[in-house]
Structure 1
Amino acid sequence: MGRAEDRRARQRGGRRAAPRRSPGRPAGGNGPAAGGRAAARRAARPEKSVLRRLFTWRKLLGAFFALCLLGIGAFVVLYLAVDIPKGNADATRQSNVYRYSDGKILARSGEINRELVDLSKVPKEVQNCFVAAENKTFYTDSGVDLKGIARGLLNTVTGRGTQGGSTITQQYVKNFYLNQDRTVTRKVKELVISLKVDRKMTKEEILAGYINTSYYGRGAYGIQAAARAYYRVDAKDLTVEQGAYLAALMQAPSQYDWAVASDNGKELVKNRWNYVLDNMVEQKWLDPAERRTMKFPVPKEPQPTPGQEGQKGYLIALANRQLAEQLMKEQGLTRAEAERAVEAQGWNVTLNIDSKKQAALEKAVETELTSKLDPDKRKVDGHVQAGAVSVDVKTGKIVALYGGEDYFKHWLSNATRRDYQPASTFKPLILAAALEHDAKTQDGQPITASTIYDGTSGRQVVDHGTKVGFGPPNEDKVNYGPITVQKAMNQSVNSVFAQMGVDVGMTRVMDTAKQLGMDTKGMQAVPAQTLGSMGASPLEMAGIYATLANHGKKVTPSIVKSAEQRGRTIEMPDPIGEQVISRQAADTVTSVLTGVVDDGTAQRSVRDNPLRRGQQVAGKTGTSDENKSAWFVGYTPKLATAVGLFGEDVKQNGKHVPLYGALGVPRVNGGGFPAQIWARYTFNVMGEISTFDLDTKQGDAVQPSQTPSGSESPSETPSETPTTSEPPVSETPSSTPPSQTPSQTPSQTPSQTPSSTPPSQTPADDVPDDPVDPGNQ
C-alpha cells in the first residue's frame, strides 16, 4: 500500500500522504521531541523576498503569453483597419522651385520624366536583374522580411541610422502608397499593406509596379525613362548587362551615376553590377559561360532637362545633394530614399547664391578664359575645363559657383569633382600641421616662417638619417640652396615641403588636412602627398582656405539657405563649426600666404592687378604633375575662392590630359589664368578694402621680406642665379644640413629672386619656354 499511496500523493501535487496515526499515539510519531525539531526546521527556512513572491516564473511566463496574445490581437485589428490606400506616386510629384538668396527665382525642376511600360515589354532576363539585386526570394516570399522590419524598427527607435534590405514588395509599397519617412508608424503600415498587396496582386504585377515607380537618378522615374536616360534605348531593348547596371544604380542613383561618380563610386557600382550578375548565375537565371563574357556597359552622357542650362544645373545639383544629405542625417534615410524624397517633391529651396556675385564669377571666367579658347587653332583648347567656388568666410555660404561651360554640354560639375590633384595648394596645410603640432626639424629646431631649409631640387628626403626614397624636383629643377619657409612658400619649392612633411609626420599632416575639411578617406600618409597628389575639388579647397581665413574655425561650405515642403522646414546645419586648429597657427599660415601674392608666383596676376586697390590678399598657386590641372586658391578677410583648370578629353570618357600649349602658352600655371580669373572676380565684388586681423608675429603680412641685392646678400645665400642643372642624387652635403636653427637666419630674409630672370621663366607665372614637367607646383 505504501507505493500506491505514493503514486496518489504525486498525482495530487507531489506530496506524499502523511502516515496514519495509531490510536492513542501523539501526532508527529515521536512525541514532543519530534514536534520541536519540525518547528526548528520551519524557523530555519528563509522567508521569500517580496520580488520573488511578485515575479515568479509562472507569473513571468503568463505575462509573456499575455503580451503575445495582446500583440497578435492588436496586429489583427490593425490588419483589418488598414486598407490599401490609393497610389500617391504621381499625386505627390511637384516641381521644385529654386531661388537666389534674395528670393528671385533661379529655376523650376520641370516635369516628371516617367513612362509606364508593361512588364511583358521588359526582357525576362532584365526583370531577373532587379530580383537578383534586391530580393532573391521575391517569387516565394510572403512580401515582407520580418527580420528586416524588426531591425529597421529597432534602429528607428534607438536612432542607430538607416536600414535597408526590405523586399521588393515593401519597396513598391513605400514608393507607390506611402513615403520615404522612417517612422515607426510608417514601418508598421508598410508591413500591413505589403502583406495585403502580396495577397491581392500577382508577383508579376508587383514587380512591374516596382520597376515603374523606382527612381533611377537623372530625373528618371521608371525603367523606361531610365533606359532612355542612360542608354538611349527603350526598356524592351535593354541587354542583361544594361539591366544589371540599372538594378545596381537604384541603391544610390547619384553616387553610382557613371557620368558624375567619383573613382570610389565607380568601383562601388561595378562591384554591385558584378553582385547582380553573380546572383543571377546562383539562381540559375544566367548561364555561367555567358556571364564570363560580359563587360561593364558604360552609360551614355546625360541629357539635362529644360530649365537647367548654363550654370543653373550645377547649382541645383549641389543644392539637391546637400538637402538629401541632411535628410539622411535628420530622418535616417538611405541615400536612394533621400534622393527620391528630394527629386520633384514640391520643395521650395532658397540658395545662398548671391545673384550679383554669381554673374561676376561667370563674367570673370568668360573674360579671362573661355573667350580666349580656340579649339580650331589649338586642339588642346578643347580640353580645358574650369571650376570655381566662392565662399563667405564668416558665414560659410557659397555665394557663387562655376561648374563648367554649360550644364547641357558638360554634365559633371567641375566645382565639385574630386578627380584632379590640388598640387601645391596643399603646401599651406603642411605648414598648418607643423605650426599646430609645434613640429621641429630633423635637428630639433622649431618650424617657423623663418626656419631655413635646403631648397636643392631633387634633394632626397631624410628621416632621422635615413633616406625615405623620395626626392621631388622643383619647378624647372631650380636649385634654391638655403631658403626660408616663407620664401619656399612664395616660390612653391617642392624639396622644402617634402622634407617638412616628414619632419612633421605625414600622419599628422593628413590629420590636420582632415580637420581643415579635406576628405582624406582612403588616402595614404606618405611623403608623396606633400605634392598634393591626392584628389580634391574647388569646393573642398575653398572650404579649407575659408577655415584658415576664419582663424581656424571650421567652415563647411553650404549652398542651401532654407528648404521648405508643404509647411515643414528642414533645418540645415550651421556651416561654421568648432575651432579645428589654433588661431595662431591659422593666422600664421595666412600671413605666410600673403607673401605668395606680394613676392611669389601670383605677383603679376594678383599683386599688380589694377583692380586690387590695396586689398590685402592671401593665396597659393598650384600646377599638377604633367600640367593636368592648375589652381589658384586665395582669400581676403571676407571671401575665399578656389579656381581650378582641368585637362579633360570628354570624347575619351573624361580622360585626364595635359594642358601644355593651351591658350597659346607653353604651360598653364596656377599663377596665370586661374589667378587672373580669381582676381577679376574677387576685386570686382569685394566691396570696401579690408585687412587681415592676425594673431601672429610670423610671415610676410607682419614681417615683409626684403630682397637684398649684390653684396648685401647674406653668406648663407648662394650668390649665383639659381641653376637648372640636374638634381643631385646623393644626400645634402654636410655643409648644408636639412634644416638650420632659426638663430642662423640672417638679419635680412634671404631672397632667391635672381638678379636677372632666367630665360626659361616668366616672372609672373613661372611659365617655361620648354614644357618640362613642373613636378606639382
Structure 2
Amino acid sequence: MARRLKRKLKLSRFFFLLLGIAIIGAGCVLAAVLFTSIRDLPVISPGALESGASTMIYDKDGNLVTNVGLKNSVPVDLEEIPDNVKNAFLAIEDPAFYQHHGISIRGIARAAWSDLTSRQIVEGGSTITQQLVKVSFLTLDQTVKRKIQEVILAFQVERRYTKDEILEMYLNNTFFGEGAYGIQAAAQTFFGKDVSELTLEEGALLAGLPQAPSAYNPFKIYTLEGQEKEKQINTVISRRNAVLNSMVKNNFISQEQANQAKDTELKLDTNEVSQRQYPYPYFLDYVTEQLIEKYGEAEVFKGGLKVYTSLDPKIQLIAEAAMSRSSNFPSSSADANGVVQPQGAVVVLDPQTGHIVALVGGREHTQKRSWNRASQTTRQPGSAFKPIAAYGPAIEYLGRGAASVVDDVPVSYGSYSPRNSDGVFRGLLTLREALTRSVNIVAVKLLNDTGINNAVRFASGLGINLDPDVHGLSMALGGLHEGVTPLQMAAAYGAFANHGVYIEPTAIIRVEKADGIILDQHVSKQRSAMKATTAYLITDMLRSVIQSGTGTGAQIGRPAAGKTGTTDEGKDIWFVGYTPELTAAVWIGYDTPTSMQQAYGGMYPAKIWQEIMSKALSGLPVQGFTPPTGVVSATVDSKSGLLPGPNTPADSLVTDLFAEGTVPTEQDNVHVFVEVCAASGQLPNQYCPDRIIKPLIKLPYQVPATVLDYAQRVPTETCTIHGQGITPEQTGAPVNPAIPVTKPNKTNQTENQSDKDKSQ
C-alpha cells in the first residue's frame, strides 16, 4: 500500500513538473511574441492615417499602362455626415464605440473562440479604432503578432485622438470598393451625390460594404446574368437589411423606419457606372479580377502593387477596333438595358508562352469592371469543337490519318440521328475533306469510334473539363452541358499550334510590392496534351479549312489554320484559328441566346479574325508550320483509305499525311469491276442490249439513293428499263459481241439481299 502511494506521489509530481515546464515555455513564447510585436510596432503619424497607393499596371515591354484603384478620396468633416449614416456604421461595426477605450473584450473573446474552433484566425473582433489602425499602419496578414500590434496601436490612438476624430478618420479612410476611399467618395461613386444627401437606406447600404467590398458590391448587379444576378441582388439587399436590423437592435432607429427603408427601391448612379476611366478596359478588368481573387481588393486598390502583364497594346487596339466596327456584326440593335446586340468577344494569345496579348469582352465597355464575355461567358462552340472532341482523339487514340475514310451516310444511335447542316450526304470522305467541309455525321462517327471517355480525356488535356456522364455523341458537334469561353477555346487551339503542348493562359507575368519585393513570378503551367504528330495533322487539315473550306473568309496571305463554328439556328457563331505566332478565338452571339439568321462562323467571326490577325502580323516575316519528326506522307485510295489495289481508279488516289506507323498496310478492297446496263446503270438483265464494265464501290451495306456518291456504288437493283419479252434486236440497239449477255445469278441476288438485311 505504501509503495503504491509513493508511486502515485511520484507520478503527481512528474505531472505537475511537466505542467510547470509547459506553462513556463508558453510564457516564454508569449513574451517573445510580445517583445517582437512591440519592437516592430509602427510609429503613429497623422499622415499614415490617410495613406494608400494605387496599383500600377505595365504592358509586356514594361511600359506603364494605368493606375488601378487610383485613390478616389474626398475627406469630409464629421458634422457633414448625417446621423443616420454615422449610426449605421456604429450599429454594424462597433455599437459600443463611445464606451470602450480602443478594444472590445466581448468582441475579442468571440473572435478568439472562432479562431480556436477553426484552428486558424478567421475573425478579427475589431473595433472601429482597431480597423482604422489596421488599414493605416499594419499589413493584412492574420497573425498573432499583428493582432497584438493592433491592440497596442488602438490604445495609443484612443489616447491621442477624441472619439469623434477617430470616427471621422475611419469614415474618411475606409475602402468601399470601386476605388472609393471614404464616405464622400463612396456616396459619389455609388449614388452620385454628396454624403450630406444620403438617405437612411443608402447609408445602410454603404455601411455594409467595408466588411467585404467585393462580395457586397452593388455594381456587380450590372455585370452578372440570370441566376447569378439575382443572387447578387439578394446578397446586397440582405446586407443592407442586416445593417438596418442592427440599427433597430441598438436603438438608433425604430422598426417602422427600418421597414420603410427596406421597402425603398435600390437606385444606383448608373451614370457613374458608365464612366470609362482607363485604357484597354476589358484586358485590365480581367487582370484586376485575377489580382483581387489572389490578394483582395484592399491590397489591389491601396497596396501600391506593381503588376507586369502580357498586354500587347498594338494588338489590343486592333482587336478593340475590330470589335467596335458595326460592319463586322450582323444587324444590331439595343436590348432592354441599352446594350448593343449581338455581342462578341475575342482573345489573342501567344501559343508558345500562353501569354494573353489581347482580350476584348464586348463590343463596347459600358461600365467599370464590366461583364467580360471573353473569360466569363460560356457558350456552345458548335463545329469549332470538332478538332477537340472528334478529330484530335481519333488521330491520337485510333491512329487515323488525314486520308482515313468515313462514310457520310444517314446513321442513328438510339434516338439520336445526327444530320449535316445542309441536309446533304456526301458518301465516302477522307477526314481532311470532312473537316474542310465541316461534315457533322463524320465527326459524330469518329467520336463514337473513339469513345466519350477518350474524347473527354483529350479535351481535359486542353484545359476543358467535361463530365462524361452528362455528355453524349452530340459533343462532337459542340453540344456541351455548360459551354466554353473564348479564352478556353483560344488556349485549347494554342496546343495545336504549339506542337501538342498545352500552356495555361495568363495575363500576369510578375507582381511586386511597392518596395520591389516580388510577390509572384509567373511560371508557365504546361503539359503534353497530345503527340506532336497529332497536333500537326490537325493543323494541316485546319489549313485546308481556310484554303478551300468553310473558313476561306479568314485567309490572311500566310500559313494559317482554323475552324468555323455555328450552332443550331445560329445562336452562337465562332472562328478559332492560329498561325505559328498567334492564336485567336472570336465569338459572336446575343447575351440571351437568340437566333441569328444567315449568320455563320465563316462570315462575321472569320472576318473579324482575318482583320485582327492580318494587322497584328503585318510587317513580320512569314512563318510556316514545321512538321515534327514522325509525320510521313502516303498515297492511298480515297474511298477505302487503304493502299492502292489492282482495281483502284487513278482518279481515286490521294496523297496525304499520317503519323509514322499508322500508314495502312492493306490494299484497297472496295473497288470492284461490275457489269452494268449501259442505259440504266443497274445490274443487267437478259434483255439489256448494251452492257459495260465499270469500276464501282462495293460495301457490305446499302445507302439511300440521296447519297451523292450513290452512282459510284455497286447497284442493288436489276435493270428496269429493259423489260421481259423484249429482245435486244427489238430495242433497235446494236449488240456488242464483246460483252457477253448474262443473267444475274441467284448467288448475287442472295448476297445483295444479305447486304440489305445487314444494313437494316
Alpha-carbon distance, 1:620 to partner? 1.7
The whole-number CA distance in structure 1 between the counterparts of 2:265 and 2:469 is 29
The whole-number CA distance in structure 1 between the counterparts of 2:323 and 2:125 is 48
1:666-688 deviations in Å (ceiling 9; x for gaps): 42211112112212332340632
Alpha-carbon distance, 1:59 to partner? 1.0
Q: How does 1:111-122 map to 2 (within 5 A)?
A: 111-117=70-76
**1:490 aligned partner, one-letter code:** T
CA contact (8 A) 1:423 1:624 kept: yes
Q: Which residue of 1 aligns with 2:607?
A: 676
Residue 357, structure 1, aligned to residue 315, structure 2: yes
The worse-fitting range, judged by mean Cα deviation, of 477-486 and 60-69 is 477-486
Tell me the SS of whatever aligns to 1:320: helix
Instruction: In structure 1, list runs of 5 or more residues that go unmatched.
Output: 1-13, 16-40, 440-444, 649-655, 661-665, 724-732, 738-777
CA contact (8 A) 1:144 1:191 kept: no
The whole-number CA distance in structure 2 between the counterparts of 1:722 and 1:672 is 26
Out of 561, 567, 571, the position equivalent to 2:520 is 571
Out of 692, 702, 719, the position equivalent to 2:657 is 702
**1:395 aligned partner, one-letter code:** T
CA contact (8 A) 1:89 1:175 kept: no
Tell me the SS of whatever aligns to 2:315: helix
Out of 212, 221, 229, the position equivalent to 1:251 is 212
Out of 687, 691, 700, the position equivalent to 2:621 is 687
Out of 561, 564, 576, the position equivalent to 1:633 is 576
**1:232 aligned partner, one-letter code:** G
CA contact (8 A) 1:144 1:195 kept: no
The whole-number CA distance in structure 2 between the counterparts of 1:553 and 1:175 is 44
> RMSD of the TM alignment (CA)?
5.3
The whole-number CA distance in structure 2 between the counterparts of 1:680 and 1:435 is 33
The whole-number CA distance in structure 2 between the counterparts of 1:588 and 1:400 is 28
Out of 421, 424, 436, the position equivalent to 1:490 is 436
The change in CA–CA distance for 1:47 and 1:214 in structure 2 (over 3 A counts) is closer
Q: Which residue of 2 aligns with 1:601?
A: 550
The change in CA–CA distance for 1:98 and 1:204 in structure 2 (over 3 A counts) is same
Q: Which residue of 2 aligns with 1:193?
A: 153
Q: How does 1:216-615 map to 2 (within 5 A)?
A: 216-235=176-195, 236-238=197-199, 240=201, 243-244=204-205, 247=208, 251=212, 253=214, 257-261=220-224, 266=229, 269-270=232-233, 272-273=235-236, 275-276=238-239, 279=242, 300=270, 303=273, 308-309=278-279, 312-325=280-293, 328=294, 333=295, 338-343=296-301, 345-362=303-320, 364-365=322-323, 369=327, 382-407=340-365, 411-431=370-390, 434-435=393-394, 438=397, 450=404, 452=406, 456=410, 461-462=413-414, 467=415, 474-479=420-425, 486-494=432-440, 497=443, 509-510=455-456, 512-518=458-464, 525=471, 530-532=478-480, 534-564=482-512, 565-602=514-551, 604-606=552-554, 609=555, 611-613=556-558, 615=559
Q: Which residue of 2 aligns with 1:775?
A: none
1:696-747 deviations in Å (ceiling 9; x for gaps): 569997269xxx9x99995678764779xxxxxxxxx97669xxxxxxxxxx
Alpha-carbon distance, 1:559 to partner? 2.3
The whole-number CA distance in structure 1 between the counterparts of 2:708 and 2:78 is 73
The change in CA–CA distance for 1:118 and 1:290 in structure 2 (over 3 A counts) is same
Which is bigger in relative contact order (C-alpha 8 A, separation at least 6)? 1
Q: How does 1:206-221 map to 2 (within 5 A)?
A: 212-221=172-181
Q: Which residue of 2 aligns with 1:86?
A: 45
1:132-190 deviations in Å (ceiling 9; x for gaps): 877899999438546756887999xx9x9x95665464544322332334566434423
The whole-number CA distance in structure 2 between the counterparts of 1:234 and 1:521 is 52
**1:176 aligned partner, one-letter code:** S
The worse-fitting range, judged by mean Cα deviation, of 563-572 and 262-271 is 262-271
Q: Which residue of 1 aligns with 2:18?
A: 60
Alpha-carbon distance, 1:633 to partner? 0.8
CA contact (8 A) 2:49 2:132 kept: no
**1:702 aligned partner, one-letter code:** L
Residue 642, structure 1, aligned to residue 624, structure 2: no
Alpha-carbon distance, 1:641 to partner? 0.9
The percent identity for this pair of structures is 25
1:294-323 deviations in Å (ceiling 9; x for gaps): 7776773654666524xx222332333344
CA contact (8 A) 1:97 1:347 kept: yes
Tell me the SS of whatever aligns to 1:394: coil
CA contact (8 A) 2:175 2:210 kept: no
The whole-number CA distance in structure 1 between the counterparts of 2:202 and 2:409 is 54
The change in CA–CA distance for 1:719 and 1:292 in structure 2 (over 3 A counts) is farther
CA contact (8 A) 2:49 2:137 kept: no
Q: Which residue of 2 aligns with 1:752?
A: none
Q: TM-score, normalised by structure 2?
A: 0.66
**1:679 aligned partner, one-letter code:** Q
CA contact (8 A) 1:255 1:261 kept: no
The whole-number CA distance in structure 2 between the counterparts of 1:494 and 1:246 is 56
Q: Which residue of 1 aligns with 2:674?
A: none
CA contact (8 A) 1:126 1:244 kept: no
Alpha-carbon distance, 1:627 to partner? 3.0
The change in CA–CA distance for 1:381 and 1:343 in structure 2 (over 3 A counts) is closer
1:382-427 deviations in Å (ceiling 9; x for gaps): 4243322211111222223334445467844443332543333233
Q: Which residue of 2 aligns with 1:769?
A: none
Q: Which residue of 2 aligns with 1:142?
A: 105
**1:681 aligned partner, one-letter code:** I
The change in CA–CA distance for 1:514 and 1:289 in structure 2 (over 3 A counts) is farther
The whole-number CA distance in structure 1 between the counterparts of 2:482 and 2:168 is 44
Q: Which residue of 1 aligns with 2:598?
A: 667
**2:278 aligned partner, one-letter code:** Q
1:323-369 deviations in Å (ceiling 9; x for gaps): 445xx3xxxx4xxxx23212254444443223443444445556794
Out of 135, 140, 151, the position equivalent to 1:180 is 140
**1:247 aligned partner, one-letter code:** G
1:173-219 deviations in Å (ceiling 9; x for gaps): 32233233456643442354356668988988777655543434332
The whole-number CA distance in structure 1 between the counterparts of 2:757 and 2:402 is 23
**1:85 aligned partner, one-letter code:** I
**2:359 aligned partner, one-letter code:** L
Out of 546, 549, 561, the position equivalent to 1:618 is 561
**1:631 aligned partner, one-letter code:** W
The worse-fitting range, judged by mean Cα deviation, of 345-354 and 514-523 is 514-523
CA contact (8 A) 2:381 2:483 kept: yes
CA contact (8 A) 2:347 2:358 kept: yes
CA contact (8 A) 2:463 2:492 kept: yes
1:94-133 deviations in Å (ceiling 9; x for gaps): 3544443234443345852123456776677777876887
1:638-668 deviations in Å (ceiling 9; x for gaps): 21111222335xxxxxxx26363xxxxx422
1:36-74 deviations in Å (ceiling 9; x for gaps): xxxxx99xx9999xxx99992111111233245446656
The whole-number CA distance in structure 1 between the counterparts of 2:459 and 2:550 is 23
CA contact (8 A) 1:84 1:197 kept: no
The change in CA–CA distance for 1:279 and 1:496 in structure 2 (over 3 A counts) is farther
The whole-number CA distance in structure 1 between the counterparts of 2:213 and 2:468 is 20
1:455-482 deviations in Å (ceiling 9; x for gaps): 64xx6544xxxx4xx5565435555566
Tell me the SS of whatever aligns to 1:388: strand
Instruction: In structure 2, list runs of 5 or more residues that go unmatched.
Output: 250-254, 634-640, 642-654, 660-670, 672-680, 682-693, 710-755
Q: TM-score, normalised by structure 1?
A: 0.65
Query: How many aligned residue pairs are there?
Result: 632
Q: Which residue of 1 aligns with 2:720?
A: none
